[in-house]
Homo-oligomer: A and B are copies of this chain.
Amino acid sequence: MKTISGGVTAPLGFKAGGVACGIKKNQQADLALIYSQVPAVAAGIFTTNQVQAAPVILSKEFLKKGKAQAIIANSGNANACVGATGMEAARRMAAAAGKALNIPMDSVLVASTGVIGVALPVERIEKALAEKADFLSDAGSPAAARAIMTTDTFPKEAAVEIELGGAPVRIGGIAKGSGMIHPNMATMLGFITTDAKIEQALLRKAIAAAGDRSFNRITVDGDTSTNDCLLVLANGLAGNKPITSENEDYQTFLQALTGVCLELAKMIARDGEGATKLVEITVRGARTEAEAVQVGKAVAASNLVKTALFGEDANWGRILAAVGYSGVKIDPDRIHIYLGDLSVYQNGTGLVFDEAKAKEILSGKEIRIKIDLGGGAAAASVWTCDLSYDYVKINGSYRS
């Protein structure tokens, strides 16, 4: 597996782009389009929030046929909780993109992100697509990544190349997300492209597995969004031997797909609203991987742990307390906690440690916390960020 550039346009046959259509203020880019020159096998996973935005409902419906050729997404407006007009606006987005690209509207998957409860000015999207359909290009991935940003501070792209039976296959992706991040099936928005040739049932299985080990393992603020979706288009142009069973090629593909998703997911955690640090929490010695994730997420979601990390305070008691209320059965006397490689708690008691060394570890931009539960052989990592003044600032006045 080799890291390459190009994001969603790294795979053969994909174009992308982003423009400002006037939903956001100040001519900021707010409309992204991804297009495959041939119809692609498609799959997706979506938010588990019972309040679901119109584009989520529509994309789920379109995905039933298992194929798609484009993804259109806007930022600045979530097209959620606006009644029946929301579905109409989502359909008009798909239709406008279909018309501009000369493909059926139900080949266009739709996504939106931004403020909830405000009617989407879909006519601006229609106008932009009618006038600027040439904004797609082979080098358009950064523009698309930028056009789906809301409170994100940087665009998020990743791509890798693997070999499947001698044929080079590429997987690329873009994502956005900074707040309302506690995905439960997917994150705010993640779009993956690949030129791999793969059966739809296997693509569906692969994206669910990859999403589960990447986007489903990050949290910024514990709030699961109404708009989460992770979509993948596989157009088969790589010419690899088609993947039709869970053979070695499938495993290689899954590993690479998971790698791209994880790279994007970690970027989201790093870019959490107001975040100053990316925090990796690894839980070992668990009875099952699911329990390791559950413990890790309790620690990752703790406001007290996150504010202590912002303050660079080695307050391991808060980590232990979160482990204790995680819902997983644990024995406090068998737990071992490390900040970086500094051992701070073991055998039921805090250890004497070098506060200067702890401060040095906690002052880094990336912090690793290891928790050994001493109860089994399973392990998992989850990612989060610290909780800063700026999180409060950003979210105290998001609508205005």
Q: Hey, what's the 0/1 contact readout for A295-329 against B, CB within 8 Å counting as 1?
A: 00000011110011011011111101111110001
Q: Within the assembled complex, what's the spacing in Å between the Cα atoms of A227 and B163?
A: 55
Q: Within the assembled complex, what's the spacing in Å between the Cα atoms of A317 and B226?
A: 9
A28 within 8 A of B: no
Binding site for B on A (CB under 8 A): 48-52, 78, 80-85, 115-118, 179-180, 184, 221-226, 301-304, 307-308, 310-311, 313-318, 320-325, 329-330, 332, 345, 347-350, 387-389, 391-400
Contacts of A396 in B (CB 8 A): 307-308, 310-311, 313
Among A118, A225, A332, the most chain B Cβ lie within 10 Å of the Cβ of: A332
Q: Are B315 and A81 in contact (CB under 8 A)?
A: no
A226 nearest in chain B by CB position? B321
* Min distance, Cβ A398 to any Cβ of chain B, angstroms: 6
- Partner pick for A321 among B184, B224, B394, CB 8 A cutoff: B224
* Min distance, Cβ A86 to any Cβ of chain B, angstroms: 8
What are 16 contact pairs spanning A and B, CB under 8 A? Answer: A50-B325, A81-B350, A115-B317, A116-B315, A116-B318, A221-B304, A223-B322, A223-B325, A225-B321, A308-B398, A310-B396, A311-B395, A311-B396, A313-B396, A387-B392, A389-B392
A348 nearest in chain B by CB position? B83
Q: Within the assembled complex, what's the spacing in Å between the Cα atoms of A316 and B308?
A: 30
* Min distance, Cβ A161 to any Cβ of chain B, angstroms: 37
Contacts of A82 in B (CB 8 A): 349-350
* Min distance, Cβ A315 to any Cβ of chain B, angstroms: 5
- Name the prevailing secondary structure of the A interface residues: loop
Q: Within the assembled complex, what's the spacing in Å between the Cα atoms of A313 and B115?
A: 12
Q: Within the assembled complex, what's the spacing in Å between the Cα atoms of A333 and B126?
A: 28
Q: Are A307 and B180 in contact (CB under 8 A)?
A: no
Q: Are B50 and A307 in contact (CB under 8 A)?
A: no
- Partner pick for A117 among B117, B223, B310, B350, CB 8 A cutoff: B350
Contacts of A78 in B (CB 8 A): 317
A321 nearest in chain B by CB position? B226
A351 nearest in chain B by CB position? B117
Q: Are A116 and B317 in contact (CB under 8 A)?
A: yes
Q: Are B221 and A324 in contact (CB under 8 A)?
A: no
Contact status of A51 and B221, CB under 8 A, knowing A313-B399, A388-B392: no
A220 nearest in chain B by CB position? B303
Q: Are A347 and B83 in contact (CB under 8 A)?
A: yes
Q: Within the assembled complex, what's the spacing in Å between the Cα atoms of A311 and B84?
A: 30
